[in-house]
Amino acid sequence: MTKHKTGTREEWLAARLELLEAEKEHTRRGDELARRRRELPWVRVDKEYRFETDEGAAVLAELLEGAVAVAGAFLR
């Protein structure tokens, strides 16, 4: 059986308000990280990446079919 604390409505409300503040801070920090990520400099892709598709091999430009800009994120 799970042992879970039981308390009063007032205890629950106080704990919930404390948690809500922590959740708001977490959201603010996430928003700040997202802003910093968006501000990273862009880098031109000069390498000719090749991809295997159902129609055969294709380069990135062929896959994008004339798209003006593409945004991507790479971790490493």
- Using alpha carbons only, give the angle 20, 31, 28 rounded to the nearest 5 degrees: 30
- Mean pLDDT value of segment 63-68: 73
pLDDT digits (tens, 9 = 90+) for 32-43: 999 999 999 988
Q: Above 80 in pLDDT, residue 76?
A: no
The overall average pLDDT reported for the chain is: 87
pTM score: 0.57
Q: Pick the residue with more confidence: 75 or 48? A: 48
- Mean pLDDT value of segment 18-29: 98
**CB-CB neighbours of 54 under 10 Å:** 4
What is d(CA 56, CA 54) in angstroms, rounded to the nearest whole number? 6
